[in-house]
């Protein structure tokens, strides 16, 4: 097993009219570092890619990564580069990236060209940005890669903002995280969600639970599923009293609170996701929260209910 720390640079249309919805971000560079099980660097990969969709460099991309379109014209196309890259990765690679986007866009580019998917379902990977935050004691914090490098006193010996250099520094940050328990906090890329109930993801972490559902035809069908809407305590699965029924303050997620006599207040959050084909799936998380946080959610739920009631009463007959 090896860790593959990758970073991608991609280009996009400069205008909404020129955007290809099937591949809004075209990968133009892949950079990666291979670490062994002891997180020691053992190999590297770097390749530019010939554009086939967006032939003009977006001004922000060009300014940030300092790549000109002329440099890419004689490079290999994506299909050839990704074949070399996956062969270089070897068997059973553990992908890592700074942030959660790279694997999603890599798979979207692969799908566009009709290539075999990396997986039929979610891919477990390490979001090094998240691991850095957990290691630093502030789980919600998200900082730039350069900020993390500075905080860990890592020597900056090559420039940032190219695919290989950012993969190189992300690998350095990952290697510098000494607490191996941090690696329990695996993330999941859900570009390809579970295809059936048997392949759904259930994972209990140290301080929360994650459940990635199979796909449904609609949001209503998802929320009608017994396991999806179940708010029982994830630690003991005993019947819990609903303090706040699931409600949606934004339409993108649902949140609710139940009370377990053994473990206390349990927050349930269901994020709604949609596949490229229009199917719906959910990412459900549960965690134990304080009575104060439970009351904040309850107050938010009451206000949401009042707002909905007010909107109904103001509708014209």
* Domains of the chain and CATH, by start: 3-184 (3.30.420.10), 195-313 (3.30.530)
Whether residue 215 contacts residue 275, with contact meaning beta carbons closer than 8 Å, is answered with yes
Residue 39 region, left (φ>0) first, then alpha (ψ -120 to 50), else beta? Answer: left
Q: Which of 61-70, 93-102, 135-144, 184-193 has the lowest mean pLDDT?
A: 61-70
Tokens representing residue 246 in the block: 């699931």
- What distance in Å separates the CA atoms of residue 295 and residue 17, rounded to the nearest whole number? 47
> Residue 137: which pLDDT band, with cuts at 50, 70 and 90?
confident
Collapsing DSSP to helix, strand or coil, 307 comes out as helix
Mean pLDDT on 223-243:
94
The predicted pLDDT at position 309 comes to 73
Mean pLDDT on 108-112:
97
Collapsing DSSP to helix, strand or coil, 295 comes out as helix
Q: What is the pLDDT of residues 16-73, one digit of tens each?
A: 889 999 999 999 999 999 999 999 999 999 999 999 999 988 888 887 788 888 889 9
Cα dihedral 279, 108, 32, 99 sign: negative
The predicted pLDDT at position 311 comes to 64
In 10 A of CB 207, how many CB atoms? Answer: 10
Q: What is the pLDDT of residues 271-286, one digit of tens each?
A: 999 999 999 999 999 9
- What's the whole-model pTM score? 0.91
Q: Examine the pLDDT at 154 and tell me if it is beyond 70.
A: yes
Question: Which residues lie closer than 8 Å to 183 by C-beta, 6 or more apart?
Answer: 126, 131
> Residue 312: which pLDDT band, with cuts at 50, 70 and 90?
low
């Amino acid at each position: 097993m090896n860790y593959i720390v990758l970073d991608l640079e991609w280009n996009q249309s400069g205008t909404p009219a020129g955007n290809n919805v099937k591949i809004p971000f075209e990968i133009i560079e892949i950079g990666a570092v291979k670490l062994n099980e002891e997180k020691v660097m053992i190999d590297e990969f770097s390749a530019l890619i010939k554009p086939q969709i967006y032939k003009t460099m977006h001004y922000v991309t060009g300014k940030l990564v300092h790549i000109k379109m002329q440099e890419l014209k004689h490079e290999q196309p994506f299909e050839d580069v990704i074949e070399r890259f996956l062969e270089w990765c070897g068997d059973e690679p553990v992908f890592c990236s700074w942030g959660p986007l790279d694997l999603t866009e890599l798979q979207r580019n692969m799908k566009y060209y009709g290539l075999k998917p990396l997986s039929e379902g979610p891919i477990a990977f390490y979001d090094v940005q998240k691991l850095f935050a957990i290691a630093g004691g502030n789980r919600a914090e998200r900082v730039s890669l350069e900020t993390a490098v500075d905080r860990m006193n890592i020597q900056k010996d090559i420039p940032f903002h190219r695919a290989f250099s950012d993969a190189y520094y992300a690998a350095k940050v990952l290697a510098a995280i000494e607490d191996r328990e941090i690696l329990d906090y695996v993330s999941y890329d859900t570009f390809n969600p579970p295809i059936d109930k048997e392949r759904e993801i259930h994972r209990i972490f140290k301080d929360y639970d994650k459940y990635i559902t199979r796909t449904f035809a609609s949001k209503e069908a998802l929320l009608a599923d017994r396991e999806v809407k179940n708010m029982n305590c994830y630690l003991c699965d005993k019947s819990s009293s609903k303090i706040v029924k699931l409600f949606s303050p934004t339409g993108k997620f649902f949140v609710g609170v139940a009370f377990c006599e053994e473990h206390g207040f349990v927050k349930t959050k269901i994020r709604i996701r949609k596949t490229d084909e229009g199917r719906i799936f959910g990412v459900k998380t549960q965690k134990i929260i304080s009575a104060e946080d439970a009351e904040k959610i309850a107050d938010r739920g009451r206000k949401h209910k009042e707002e909905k009631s007010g909107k109904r009463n103001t509708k014209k007959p």
